[in-house]
Amino acid sequence: MKAPITLELDITGLSHDGRGVARHDGKAVFVRGALAGEKVLARLVQRHRHYDDAQVEQVLSASPDRVDPRCPHFGVCGGCALQHLAPEAQIAAKQRVLAENFERIGHVEPKRWLAPLTSAVWGYRRKGRLSVKFVDKKGKALVGFREDNGRYVADLTRCEVLAPAVGERIEALAALVGTLSGVREIPQIEIAAGDDTTALIFRHLQPLTDADRAALIAFGRTHDLAIYLQPGGNDSVHPLWPEAPRLAFRIDSADVELEFRPLDFIQVNSAMNEAMIAHALALLDPQPGDRVLDLFCGLGNFTFPLARRSAHVVGVEGEHGLVERAKQNAARNGIANVEYHVANLLDDQRDTPWARQRYDKILLDPPRSGAQAVFDYLPKKDTDRIVYVSCHPASLARDAGILVDKHGFKLRAAGVMDMFPHTAHVESIALFER
């Protein structure tokens, strides 16, 4: 067996996934556990043609931004990548990632940088997916995120970033699953938390016994958690206990409440979502006479706040179920100046009635792939302002270049929002004006 290779490295930056970046013999080395400005001893983990992977063994000279991770599982669990970096330094690093992407990919620069949006950094995750695995060697079930290497389920006792109703009960949840006769047929548990109800959705590959169902109900009663079962695809999800749980969250600034189903997409961080909506509306500045188009609208997270300030809002979303629930939420909240359409926005929609209408302003909230396809048929000349909410800085940078170079917009402002503290995920927002 070969002895491990240890390198002394000077860390010059952070990669997009939160690893330290160094160079050795002219080759890039990505070092897990290292921070910019540090000198470290690192163990070589894997060689590649153009770069190498390494793991910190010893920090010889620490960054002033290094902090002690709050979670005892940090470094093993893959749920977080940056707990060893002070929160204010995390968001600064994400701002640098966004700036580098604008420069390198979009070849644009915002006229001004927006102050980063931040909120509470612990117990913020109201959505998540936990893996489940019964490990014979340990004689117990593991419930948690995947380990950093992705091959195994992390052996967690708690999670500091999940909503406390679940994060503080990981050990109890694992113990429950370990008692079920169908433990080997449960691959995952999803978490969905509304303002008043937190739900666990148990995916199971075989029918559960009456005893297992009773055990799940008892756990839900004891810990005040709604229990759902998922025996098949997303449409198979149904409540086990109570009979009709209600999942909903409020957007106080718009005086609306959105009901949702357990597997519906909602923003993970409720406090940041409220701040993000206010931020987006301030940038878009909808006026009482404006017609606004909300693309990739989902349940209406932005649509309803926009409707409170505009003459008319059109929401377009590709998932039929989300549009149906958006319509129901509009009726429930007494909002009549919205209309919804189901459409695959990655296809050319120029001949659809909604795309031929006039819009003063557009709000975009696309998936990671971005909104490039939309720009083949929108925006039209009547649109003078666009706010783009992004969950991937590279696609935002690419799309910014398109809006500036091909559609005559200027990138007036941009900034980051810390939707996922302690992870390397970069959420951002940008304002474009003609």
Query: Are the C-beta atoms of residues 77 and 162 closer than 8 Å to each other?
Result: no
Rounded Cα distance between 295 and 1, Å, is 56
Give the pLDDT confidence of 396-429 residue by residue, as tens digits. 999 999 999 999 999 999 999 999 999 999 999 9
pLDDT at 1: 56
Query: Are the C-beta atoms of residues 241 and 226 closer than 8 Å to each other?
Result: yes
Instruction: Read off the tokens for 174.
Output: 């694992």
What stretches in the chain show pLDDT beneath 70? 1
Rounded Cα distance between 309 and 331, Å, is 17
Give the pLDDT confidence of 72-108 residue by residue, as tens digits. 999 999 999 999 999 999 999 999 999 999 999 999 9
DSSP per-residue string spanning 171-228: HHHHHHHHH-TTGGG--EEEEEE-SS-EEEEEE-SSPPPHHHHHHHHHHHHHHT-EEE
Query: Among this protein's residues, is 77 annotated catalytic?
Result: no
Buried/exposed code over 361-372 (b: 16+ C-beta within 10 A; e: otherwise): bbbbbbeeebbe
Rounded Cα distance between 220 and 242, Å, is 8
Looking at the DSSP bridge assignments, the partners of residue 59 are: 40
SS3 287: coil
Query: Are the C-beta atoms of residues 430 and 387 closer than 8 Å to each other?
Result: yes
